[in-house]
Structure 1
Amino acid sequence: MGKRLVVIIMDGWGWREEEKGNCIKMAKTPNFNFYWQNFPHCLIEASGLAVGLPEGQQGTSEVNHAIIGAGRVVYQDLVRISKAIEDGSFFENRALVAAAKSAKENNSFLHILGLVGTGGVHAHQTHLYALLELARRQGLKKVYLHCFTDGRDTLPESGLGFLLDLQKKTEELGVGEIATLCGRYYAMDRDHNWERTDKAYRLLTLAEGKKFGGVKEAVEYWYGQKITDEIIEPSVLEKSGFTGIKEKDAVVFANFRNDRPRQLTERFLEKGPKEIELVTMTQYSSEYKVKVAFPPVEVKNVLGEVISRAGLKQLRVTETEKFAHLTFFLNYKRNDPFEGEDRIMLDSYSDIKTHDERPEMRAADIAREVVQDIQAKGHEVIFTNICNCDMVGHTGNLPAIVKGVEAVDKALGEIVEAAQKNGYEVIITADHGNAEEKIDKQGNILTQHTTNPVPFILISQKYKKLVADKGEMQDVAPTILKILGISKPKEMTGKSLVV
């Protein structure tokens, strides 16, 4: 029988020895513990330079799935854009300069949309500063900022500080004014909750939202209502004079991660004001007819492509929340499946506001789908992402996160048992941490990803040891190819963890 392999990505399951705020340690995880104690294992670096991000920057699902698929370190969009700012090429970027010139020639407004803060997962505050500087250099005076507050990749009530810093920067540069605010829950939905997207769209095009005098008044009002950054409701700052994005205005969407801006971008493309100059920081979709400031870097010979070319069938199984990561990002930003690649997406629960309400998510159903395919021997390689540790982890609800971890562990047990009975090898790993560090030294609840390493376990009849006790995310693909007996392409710089 040919080689067969299951790759399980436990999204958000990081490794940390300390027990305080460690929901992995709080949870009952008999399956994971058994595999860790009895099979070859190591820790994988999942943040910073190891995944093409700045030193100390937390890894993300998008970035780290892309690095797993690439089998090499590729500078991520955050680093690319930041380097362009540092070397000055950012201020000559054709797409961005075109947006500024369009606003100037039409005597219209330049609107900068984006997530505020230094979370670095979807956007970065310094990029907003650079866009303001570009506007200043282009001689623009009419510049509005439309700010989405975070609270997931940053602390839940850190938004006010970031907004005040941004306001200070506009005063220093003498350009730009904050016109609107709303939480990412509305502006950055990716699960087809269009009523949320439409609230953000109406805020931007009709100035439809609760009215406030200024930033501080608005944010402190919402905090007083126990509404934190992520879910701040659409708000208009009246002193800006903003009445909506109009015809012939220019719009720059400053987020660089491309999954969460799509719905709002699509609203503008479908029914937005006429003749607006729309620029996105990166390519949100190859189908969008917009200017792109930083187009994708071509990466050849990625994992899915190499498996396909070897004539093996592969399956990707997950739920809505991580479907793009296990397909588009794992294939290094390619929408279409490779030949022999099948996909199963289970709908994430949409009848809830946040995932702590149903922390089990679709873990059991994902496990069932994987087990059925193992038993049917439908594909030689199965990739699955079980994402409770990340998605419930983002809520900061510790008892719910513990339940989510336990749901992942139960799914692990079912998949591994079926794999061992049917001649499949198994890799258990994660893309980044989250659930293992939920309380900081000051006692604050954390909702963001971590910079901790992640586990890597190999359950194999053939390979009884790994060549190193530490690896990097780029080593996962070469290890998979080695197990499958496929030659590693020269473009992959990662090293196999087995020989």
Structure 2
Amino acid sequence: MNPGLLIIVDGWGHRDGTEGNAFRLAATPFIDDFPKRGPWTLLQASGEAVGLPGGVVGNSEIGHLTIGAGRVIEYESTRIQRAGESGELRSHPLLRPSLERVRRRGGALHLIGLCSDGMVHADISHFRLLLEVARDSSIERVFLHPFTDGRDVPDGSAGKYLAELEAMAARSGRGRVASVVGRSYAMDRSGAWDRTQSAFAAIVRGEGPRVGRPSEALEAGRNAGLRDELIPPAVVTGDDGRPLGRMSPGDLALFVNFRGDRMRQLVEAVAHPDFSRFDRGPLPGLEVQTLTEYFLDPPVPALFAQADSSDGLADLLESRGVHNVRIAESEKFQHVTFFFNGRDNRSRLTEEDVHVPSRKVDYRLAPEMSGVAVAEQTIRALGAADAGLVLVNLANPDVVGHTGDLDAVCRAVETADACLRRMCEAAWQAGRWTAIVGDHGNAEEMVDAATGKPNVGHTANPVPFLLAGPGLDVRLRPDGSLADVAPTVSDLLGLDRSPRMEGEGLIRRSVLVSRDPQA
């Protein structure tokens, strides 16, 4: 066993230009000097290389999933789009009878989800597909509950997407916007249940600030200086002043995000029979479904099962009895555990998870986040002789990158650089190899070239892969992807790869020499 350290730097893409590139503008002496210690290469982390449609940017979920699986996993958004275009969605064995029950009862269909084409958590075109299914199923009453974005797409674009959604409804002859909720309320995953409660009240009960038109919610937010993601929940009323889309017995609530980690709190509040996080009052008898599996307990019926991503690096480590440690702060903890493990929640005897709490602050004011604490926990784990692999996520470049504040992102990158130095030097002192990789682009392109405005979303740029270790001289392939990371880590550990790892090892040649990466 050749023990090692794998660090995933979230939101680290590669771009040559300097303007808006936090990794070029920030002081990053350790990253800048790394080529003197070992080789580096660039990996594809978007589009077809990670199971997404061509040209679609990568994200943290698919990045960690692909890194862990060692092969390309077809993403759910692609499967849903194909099912809609082929007609499979109209005859879906779960959705079709549910819609028939709604039609017979005179109930309503509620479509709930993120309203943008960022393709990280959702795709607005899935609203269109479901509106068309509702029309073909003779569902007369359809209500839309969009979440404003501003993270996966530029801030200030919510009005454009809301207008696009209303145009889809007009073309299908079905659907009215019944509530408008910022994603920070509807898609919280940090345990801020007060935000989830506000979203629940507006969407399910029709309670909260009222507006006569959906656009009024956006106008109020802009007047208050709020970003799109922070638009407070608002209830749209009809001409009589009453909420348009308060949920009633016999209605079907369908959550349309294809990524579930940021939907679990809200769906749990709507569907869990013994929910106790807040007083939700008397619940209408609803049918509740999700577009894909959200991995809730008890489970909620899903239209599409998640693609099989088992037999990756986590399963290999377990089968070989390799003790491994996973370390991340709250913002990315699920990524180094659940997603890296092939969306498998079960506990493993060989896996030790170290959860570092994220700070509940405005990250523009504290871009360091919990990076120093993550580094300290990593250094502690590296001192354990039985830890064959230590896996770490540094969240700063991605999470702060979503704020669009370039100065803050530069400070976040500088924090990441300092943490990388501490962790790598500790690994090398312990005789371990170290691999560093990005999972998708973000902080390297903080300015939209077309508009000159802040870019708060991910990018399609390739990501760096760096490798060094005591006594290890390597050359790396120049044409890899994230699917090649797990096979490479398997090789470095001295383990036979899983047969289902379809990626290729990145190492061209490995020779033991007296080279010292700390020299």
TM-score, normalising length from structure 1? 0.97
Equivalent pair of 1:102/1:277 in contact (CA under 8 Å): no
SS of 1:114 mapped into structure 2: strand
What is the match of residue 257 of structure 1?
A: 259
1:220 Cα deviation after fit:
2.4
CA distance in 2, matches of 1:267, 1:215: 24
What is the match of residue 370 of structure 1?
A: 378
What is the match of residue 516 of structure 2?
A: none
Please list, as runs of the form range in 1=range in 2, the aligned pairs for 1:71-470 lying within 5 A after superposition: 71-239=70-238, 241-242=243-244, 244-268=246-270, 269=272, 270=275, 273-350=283-360, 352=361, 354-441=362-449, 442-470=451-479
CA distance in 2, matches of 1:276, 1:216: 28
1:212 Cα deviation after fit:
1.4
CA distance in 2, matches of 1:68, 1:391: 19
Equivalent pair of 1:164/1:215 in contact (CA under 8 Å): no
2:503 to 490, 494, 497: 494
CA distance in 2, matches of 1:474, 1:127: 27
CA distance in 2, matches of 1:99, 1:147: 22
Equivalent pair of 1:208/1:234 in contact (CA under 8 Å): no
CA distance in 1, matches of 2:189, 2:363: 14
1:462 Cα deviation after fit:
4.9
Equivalent pair of 2:217/2:231 in contact (CA under 8 Å): no
1:1-34 Cα shifts (integer Å, max 9, x gaps): x310100000011111000000111111111111
Name the amino acid aligned to 2:464: P
CA distance in 2, matches of 1:145, 1:153: 20
Q: Percent identity?
A: 35
1:471 to 463, 474, 480: 480
SS of 1:233 mapped into structure 2: coil
Name the amino acid aligned to 2:461: N
What is the match of residue 27 of structure 2?
A: 28
CA distance in 1, matches of 2:245, 2:500: 51
1:104 Cα deviation after fit:
1.1
CA distance in 1, matches of 2:85, 2:254: 20
CA distance in 2, matches of 1:85, 1:288: 28
1:378 Cα deviation after fit:
4.3
1:460 Cα deviation after fit:
2.3
What is the match of residue 5 of structure 1?
A: 4
Name the amino acid aligned to 2:48: L
Name the amino acid aligned to 1:232: I
Name the amino acid aligned to 2:266: L
1:274 Cα deviation after fit:
4.1
CA distance in 2, matches of 1:357, 1:215: 31
1:197-242 Cα shifts (integer Å, max 9, x gaps): 0000011122122221212333223222222210111111212842
Paired residue total: 496
Equivalent pair of 1:111/1:144 in contact (CA under 8 Å): yes
1:439 Cα deviation after fit:
0.5
Name the amino acid aligned to 2:416: V
Name the amino acid aligned to 1:229: D
Instruction: Answer yes or no: is 1:58 the counterpart of 2:57.
Output: yes
Instruction: Answer yes or no: is 1:484 the counterpart of 2:493.
Output: yes
Larger mean Cα displacement after TM superposition, 278-287 or 414-423: 278-287
CA distance in 1, matches of 2:436, 2:173: 52
CA distance in 2, matches of 1:177, 1:5: 54
1:296 Cα deviation after fit:
1.7
Larger mean Cα displacement after TM superposition, 61-70 or 375-384: 375-384
1:325-367 Cα shifts (integer Å, max 9, x gaps): 11000001001233300100011012x2x32121001111111
CA distance in 2, matches of 1:342, 1:376: 12
1:286 Cα deviation after fit:
4.8
TM-score, normalising length from structure 2? 0.93
CA distance in 1, matches of 2:104, 2:206: 24
Equivalent pair of 1:96/1:293 in contact (CA under 8 Å): yes
Equivalent pair of 1:151/1:159 in contact (CA under 8 Å): yes
1:396-435 Cα shifts (integer Å, max 9, x gaps): 1111111100110011000111111111110011101111
1:285 Cα deviation after fit:
1.1
Equivalent pair of 1:304/1:338 in contact (CA under 8 Å): no
Equivalent pair of 2:75/2:307 in contact (CA under 8 Å): no
Name the amino acid aligned to 2:166: Q
Name the amino acid aligned to 1:496: G
Equivalent pair of 1:245/1:273 in contact (CA under 8 Å): no
CA distance in 2, matches of 1:467, 1:38: 14
CA distance in 1, matches of 2:372, 2:386: 20
CA distance in 2, matches of 1:91, 1:227: 39
Name the amino acid aligned to 2:425: E
SS of 1:407 mapped into structure 2: helix
Structure 2 gap segments, 5+ residues each: 509-519
CA distance in 2, matches of 1:135, 1:147: 17
CA distance in 2, matches of 1:76, 1:13: 21
Equivalent pair of 1:99/1:278 in contact (CA under 8 Å): no
Equivalent pair of 2:310/2:341 in contact (CA under 8 Å): no
Name the amino acid aligned to 1:339: L
What is the match of residue 512 of structure 2?
A: none
SS of 2:147 mapped into structure 1: strand
SS of 1:117 mapped into structure 2: coil
Name the amino acid aligned to 1:414: R
